[in-house]
Amino acid sequence: MKEYGWKMAVAAFALAAAGSDAAEWPAPDPRVPAEIVAMLKEHLGKWHTEGEWISNGKAQPTKATWECRAAVGGIGNICTWNHEWADRAPDSALEIIGYDPERKTLRGMRVTDGGVISTAATTVQGNTMIGHWESVEGGKKSVGHNEIVVKTPGEWVQHMTIDVDGKRVTEMNVTHHRVN
């Protein structure tokens, strides 16, 4: 799917998901792999996140609360995030996660209250979600890696790194706990 088409599909997905109840889990499309269905289902509910954000070697505490609801026939979720940062104002984000049948991965799009839109593809391997991305800005190569491990249902650990021109500039280590 072309990038424009993907963004239009995400917008339609958000509208379709608006009325979904978190307690509902629609029967998923049988073409969606079982581990993707399980990971989407694992996202449901209200969550609390705590950990640290390390930027240019300086560690700061970070917290978030978030909630995910089932959407579009069990092949996606819509999540709202509220972040608390030690070094800047709190922010919020809307995240839409769904199965991409062409890439056979989870794809997500996040729009923040600052208007920033980002997309990501995530592979699911058992109880682990892995994202990897590369970009070039201003002639500098940026490489990111994000790994989330479901330790037990409702308890995850996440480690994310961003390196620019081979130097670690950002790292995040957090734990996510479902509160209901």
Where do the domains of the chain lie, and which CATH numbers do they carry? 3-178 (2.40.128.20)
Question: Could you tell me the two tokens for 68?
Answer: 């995910």
CB-count exposure of residue 172 (10 Å: 0-12, 13-18, 19+): middle
Model pLDDT for residues 144-158, shown as the tens digit of each residue: 999 999 999 999 999
According to DSSP, the residues that pair with 155 across neighbouring strands are 152, 177
Exposure of 96 by Cβ count < 10 A (0-12 exposed, 13-18 middle, 19+ buried)? buried
Model confidence pTM above 0.75: yes
d(CA 33, CA 122): 14
Q: Which two tokens stand for residue 3?
A: 């990038």
pLDDT, average across residues 17-29: 54
